[in-house]
Amino acid sequence: MKAGRTWAWLTFAAGTAYFFIPLIATLEFSMRMRRGIYSFDAYQVVLGDVRFQQTFGYSVLVSIFTILLGVLIVVPAAYWIRLKMPYLRPVVEFITLLPLIIPAIVIVFGYIRMYGSNSPLPFLATARGTDLLLIIGYATLALPYMYRAVDTGLRTIDVRTLTEAAQILGAGWATIIARIILPNVLIAVLSGAFLTFAIVIGEFTMASLLNRPAFGPYLQNIGANRAYEPAALAVIAFAITWGCMSVIQVLSRFAPKSANQPN
Amino acid sequence: MADAFLNIQSVKNDYGATTVVQDFNLGVEAGEFVSFLGPSGCGKTTVLRIVAGFETPSAGAIMVGGRDVTNLKPNQRNIGMVFQAYALFPNLTVAQNIGFGLKVAGVPRAEANARVAEMLDIIRLPEFGGRYPYQLSGGQQQRVALARALAPKPKLLLLDEPLSALDAKVRVSLREEIRSIQKKLGITTVFVTHDQEEALSISDRIVVMYGGKAEQIGTPFEIYNRPATRFVANFVGTLNVLEGTVTDAAAGKVRVGESEIVLKQPLSDAKAGATLSLALRPEAISLGRRPGHDSSLSGLISDVSFLGSVIRIRVDLGKNAISLDTFNSPATPPPTVGDKAVVNFAASDLLVLAV
């Protein structure tokens, strides 16, 4: 028993070291821009860079639209599958996993071939069209996370009975989804939204190949040409991701408590 | 039946090759409280869901107030429904839950608020409007569900086993409350239950269902005292079934064990020598002689169960056995197992079972 406990602690310590040592090393390196002393000079340079502000602002905006598109597609789809076509769940789950299997570069090359300026749907002919295509691409990349988050949220409520209760009171489908289903899975939707945000903020392949001024290509560009700033950016990106995760944890405490599970 | 407020006409429902409801007919008068009673899987909830519009019948029609609603969606039928699992919206307060149907219908806010307050008074929870469902007990949640169903003034109220998830004491008080509110509002109500005591205590009429069919439709008194089939007799209340042999059909004479019983009516459909099932309620039997108890059977006491105010005694009669109830009396000790006993009853209380 005691030996088992020691091994458990050793494994935990090894895992912690594996995760935190590179992070601490990166943080330490990012603060060595000024010779001889630790400083936040690299952070000041990065945060003061106009391109940082522009690319970060662009990626935040794109992530918001990606989240909206994801919610509009995933919530009704996951709800409908749970309510009317539960036999399709394995198929849909498999489809939502495809973005994890198919590399982003394959998807974006497909887009470039399909939606070039000579195609019937010339998304790439204009900057706005390309932005739209980027948002669609990001929504696809975020699908595995968004679908699972929403599906897990739907599992915690009695979808069928709540739907029937709303229907018999005169509600139509739009009212049921907007006023009953969505508010009850809002925390799950927010979880999916923050995961989507974290993906979009750091994504490089799609933004780079579609030639959009996103944060991912900026990170890559800085990394290739500077010494201390990439380390500062890595720490900032890490902080943003962890901030998103923390917000998910905090929000999950406010999830509506179900009335459908009698004590 | 043609003039009934709710008319369920020749309804049939199939799930693939399985027929769940077969040729179901029922007329419910305006203001009537009708219960569907039956074991799990008998089709009672399916019929209710067909009336609500959640299931489409394979054949037949549903008429409400003279209007054919068979092909209408649930949200077009103006029917209220209370579910077994309460189904309150967890994200809305009690008042918002009750007012949901009114808001969907576009009722002006002041009018809706007044109706919500009225409903909260009716269910005796006037202080609970601001609470969320998870802050209420099961009984309170179900009262809110009832108020929510009644708030839009539906033409018909459907109750799908609304008391099943509650504990015994709350169940009794809430069923009385449901009945009292139903009588006060005069709303036509269909109640689904598998609990015979619930059905017997609050219904104007009961539909006993088995195998997707209505076995018997009648008042609680009729269902209990004059069960039409063996299933109804066995399902509703405790029943002794005695196997006998017809000795003289015209005179209504039947041999049960060593004794001969003379029924009050001739057995027109039976022939001498035919086997017959006779049913007798435990409360219709006594151990001692009582006025009106004109028939008797002899046997040995095989079991004595003390149930508090009542003692249930089982008497072995050879091929048959009979259970009877006597009131507990502190002055008279209960009989002991192995004692000889003569059970007495009125021949008029014997039911000849059709099946």
What residues 150-179 of chain A have any CB closer than 8 A to a CB of chain B? Answer: 157-158, 161-162, 164-172, 175
What does the pLDDT look like over A59-95, one tens digit per residue?
A: 999 999 999 999 999 999 999 999 999 999 999 999 9
Between A164, A259, A260, which is nearest B54 by CB? Answer: A164
What's the confidence (pLDDT) of residue A261? 40
pLDDT reading at B288 higher than 50: yes
State whether A161 and B105 contact (CB < 8 Å): no
| CA closest to B85 among chain A residues | A260
pLDDT reading at A260 higher than 50: no
ipTM of the complex: 0.81
Domain with A128 in it: what CATH number? 1.10.3720.10
State whether B79 and A184 contact (CB < 8 Å): no
The reply to whether A19 falls in a domain is: no
The closest of B318, B342, B301, B346 to B242, measured between CA atoms, is B318
pLDDT reading at B331 higher than 90: no
The reply to whether A44 falls in a domain is: no
The reply to whether A211 falls in a domain is: yes
**B332 or B29: whose pLDDT is higher?**
B29
Tokens of A157: 């409520």
Tokens of A249: 């944890």
What's the confidence (pLDDT) of residue B7? 94
Q: Which residue is associated with the tokens 């310590």? A: A13
Question: B320: which strand partners?
Answer: B317
What's the confidence (pLDDT) of residue B355? 44
* Residue B306 · residue B337 · CB < 8 Å: no
The reply to whether A24 falls in a domain is: no
**Among residues of chain B, what percentage have pLDDT more than 70?**
99
What does the pLDDT look like over A110-150, one tens digit per residue?
A: 999 999 888 888 998 899 999 999 999 999 999 999 999 99
What does the pLDDT look like over A163-198, one tens digit per residue?
A: 999 999 999 999 999 999 999 998 889 889 988 998
What's the confidence (pLDDT) of residue A257? 57
pLDDT reading at B145 higher than 90: yes
The reply to whether A1 falls in a domain is: no
Q: Please tell me the distance from the alpha carbon of residue B38 to that of residue B223, in angstroms, as a whole number.
A: 12
State whether A259 and B88 contact (CB < 8 Å): yes
What's the confidence (pLDDT) of residue A263? 33
The whole-angstrom distance between A159's CA and the closest CA on chain B is: 9
The reply to whether A64 falls in a domain is: yes
CB contacts, 8 Å: A263 with chain B: 137-138
Report the 3 state secondary structure along chain B.
CCCCCEEEEEEEEEECCEEEEEEEEEEECCCCEEEEECCCCCCHHHHHHHHHCCCCCCEEEEEECCEECCCCCHHHCCEEEECCCCCCCCCCCHHHHHHHHHHHCCCCHHHHHHHHHHHHHHCCCCCCCCCCHHHCCHHHHHHHHHHHHHCCCCCEEEEECCCCCCCHHHHHHHHHHHHHHHHHHCCEEEEEECCHHHHHHHCCEEEEEECCEEEEEECHHHHHHCCCCHHHHHHCCCCEEEEEEEEECCCCEEEECCEEEECCCCCCCCCCCCEEEEEECHHHEECCCCCCCCEEEEEEEEEEEECCCEEEEEEEECCEEEEEEEECECCECCCCCCCEEEEEECHHHCEECCC
pLDDT class for B1, splitting at 50, 70, 90? low
Within 13 A of B250's CA, how many CA atoms are on the CB side? 0
The closest of A145, A144, A160 to A85, measured between CA atoms, is A160
**What is the mean predicted confidence (pLDDT) over A210-218?**
93
The reply to whether A126 falls in a domain is: yes
* Residue A78 · residue A152 · CB < 8 Å: no
Burial B8-29 (b: 16+ CB within 10 A, else e): bbebbbeeeeebbbbebebbbe
Distance of CA A34 to the CA centre of its chain: 35
Using DSSP's 3-state secondary structure scheme, residue A118 falls into coil
Range of the domain at A246: 51-254
What does the pLDDT look like over B172-189, one tens digit per residue?
A: 989 999 999 999 999 999
What does the pLDDT look like over B213-251, one tens digit per residue?
A: 999 999 999 999 888 888 898 888 888 888 888 888 888
State whether B87 and A263 contact (CB < 8 Å): no
Q: Please tell me the distance from the alpha carbon of residue B165 to that of residue B84, in angstroms, as a whole number.
A: 7
Predicted structure pTM score:
0.80
**What is the mean predicted confidence (pLDDT) over A9-16?**
96
Least confident of A5-14, B60-69, B304-313: B304-313
What's the confidence (pLDDT) of residue A137? 95
Least confident of B45-49, B67-71, B76-80, B324-328: B324-328
pLDDT reading at A259 higher than 60: no
**What is the mean predicted confidence (pLDDT) over B158-164?**
93
Q: Please tell me the distance from the alpha carbon of residue A201 to that of residue A242, in angstroms, as a whole number.
A: 13
Side by side, the strands of the sheet bearing B295-306 are B285-286, B340-345, B295-306, B310-317, B320-327
DSSP A177: I
Between A166, A170, A184, which is nearest B152 by CB? Answer: A170
Distance between first and last Cα of chain A: 38
Average pLDDT of every residue of chain B: 90
Is A84 in CB contact (< 8 Å) with chain B? no
Is B153 in CB contact (< 8 Å) with chain A? no
Q: Please tell me the distance from the alpha carbon of residue B343 to that of residue A251, in angstroms, as a whole number.
A: 71
Number of domains chain A is built from: 1
The whole-angstrom distance between B189's CA and the closest CA on chain A is: 15
Using DSSP's 3-state secondary structure scheme, residue A203 falls into coil
The reply to whether A234 falls in a domain is: yes
pLDDT reading at B81 higher than 70: yes
Question: A142: which strand partners?
Answer: none
